Structure 1
Amino acid sequence: MVELVPLTGPAIAAHIGDLARLRITVFRDWPYLYEGDEAYERDYLSVFANTQDALVVLAIDNGAVVGASTGMPLLAEQDYVRAPFQKAGIDEAPIFYFSESVLLFSYRGQGIGVRFFEAREDFARQKHEWAYFCGVVRADNHPARPSDFVPLDAFWKKRGYAPVSGLTASFSWKDIGDSDETTKPMAFWRKRL
C-alpha cells in the first residue's frame, strides 16, 4: 500500500530532487504540456522547505516517491498567484492555497488523490477557513488534447470544491517543443474548510 507522509519545514528539503523530477514527469502530460526545467523546479520547491506552515505530502511506494501534494498559506505564495485575490478584494489571510498534486500515471485511480485532498484539508483547517487551488484552462480543440481526456471537474466537485466565477490567474511556462514560455489562464476553485 502507498504510504502518505506529510512533511513541513526543513524535512521537505531532502526530497526536493525527487519532487522536481516527479513534477516534470507528470506535468509533461495533458493539460499542462510542461517542458520542464530541473533548476527552476528545485528553486520553486525550496520555497516549501523555507515557508512556515507549508506542507508537502509525499506518496511513497517501497521507498520511491510516486506522488506529492503541496500547499501553503496564500499570504506566502508568489505575487502572480495572489494578484487575482488582491484585484477582487478577497481577504487572503483565511486562505490555504493547494499548489499541486502530482501522481505517476500507474498509481491513479487507487484513491491517492482523495487522500491528498484529505491530508491537505486536515492540515489547512488548523489555521485557515478556506482551501483554494487552480487548474489550467486549455481550449477544447487544442491539437494536443487526447480524445479520451476526462477533466477533473467531477472529482473536485465530489470533494466539495466549486469553481470561483471570474477568478483567474496567469501562469507562464514553456510547452513541450516550444522555444519560449507562454501565459496560460488558471481557473480557481474553492471550498470552505
Structure 2
Amino acid sequence: MSGISIKHLPGPELGPWLADLARLRITVFRDFPYLYDGTAEYEEKYLQTYLRSADSIVVLALDGDKVIGASTGLPMQDETEEFQKPFMDQGYDPARIFYCGESVLLRDYRGKGIYKEFFLGREGQARKLGRFDYCSFCCVQRPDDHPLRPADYVPLDAVWTKFGYVKHPELKTSYSWKDVDQAEETEKPMVFWMKPLAAEGGQ
C-alpha cells in the first residue's frame, strides 16, 4: 500500500469530506451489482446519518490528498427502521448490533489490502464502544442471468466468509434506487451478513 494512507474519522467530523465521499460512492456503485444511478445531492443527504451519529466511523483510504476509498459504520439503532426491522423480526436486539455500511474503493486500488483495513476499522470501532454482540452489513441480490452482469464478475462472498461473516438469508429487506439502465426506481432484494464480536482481533 505504498503511498496510501488509512484515516479513521469520527462520523461527526465527516463534513469536510462529504463531497469527496459522495462522488466516490456514485462512481463505484454505478458498477454491477448495484448499477446505481445516483446524484451528489442524494448522497450528501444520505451521509448526514453519519454526521448525526455520535458513535459512527468513516474509514478513509487516501492516495496523497485524493480519497480513493471509504467505508462507513454506525450503531444499528442510529439507522432507519427499514434497516432494523429484519433483525427485530428475527429476535435480535438492534442495540447490540454495529452496522457496517458500504465500502467503496476505486478499481485501480483493489487487491492491495485496503478492503481488509475497512473491516478492521469498523470492527475496531464496534469493540471500542463495547456494547455490541455483532457486526453486520447487507448486500444486493442480483439474478445470475442479469443482462448487465459482467462475464468476469466474481461475488465477494468468499472474501466476506474469510473475514468471518456468515450470510443470513432469513435477514432480508428491500431498498429502492434507479438502475443505470432504468427510467424509474425499483425495489431490490437485500440480504444481511453477520459476524459475532466475541473473539478479539483477527478476522
Change (3 A) 1:10 1:93: closer
The match for 1:139 among 104, 122, 143 is 143
Residues 47-75 of structure 1 deviation map (CA, whole Å, 9 limit, x = unaligned): 21111101111000011000000010000
CA shift for structure 1 position 182: 0.6
Gaps of 5+ in 1: none
CA contact 2:49–2:79 (8 Å) conserved in 1: no
Residues 76-102 of structure 1 deviation map (CA, whole Å, 9 limit, x = unaligned): 101211121122221111100001100
CA shift for structure 1 position 177: 2.9
Output aligned runs, 1:17-28, within 5 Å. 17-28=19-30
> How high is the sequence identity, in percent, across the aligned residues?
50
TM-score by length of 2: 0.92
Q: Secondary structure at the match of 2:47?
A: helix
Ranges of 4+ aligned residues in structure 1 off by more than 6 Å? none
Output aligned runs, 1:1-193, within 5 Å. 1=2, 2-126=4-128, 127=130, 128-193=132-197
CA shift for structure 1 position 104: 0.3
Higher mean alpha-carbon deviation, 177-186 vs 152-161, is at: 177-186
Q: Counterpart in 1 of 2:201? A: none
Q: Secondary structure at the match of 2:95?
A: coil
AA paired with 1:156?
Answer: W
TM-score by length of 1: 0.97
CA shift for structure 1 position 165: 3.0
Q: Partners in 2 of 1:79 and 1:171 — Cα distance?
A: 12
CA contact 2:11–2:58 (8 Å) conserved in 1: no
Q: Partners in 2 of 1:10 and 1:86 — Cα distance?
A: 27
Aligned length: 193
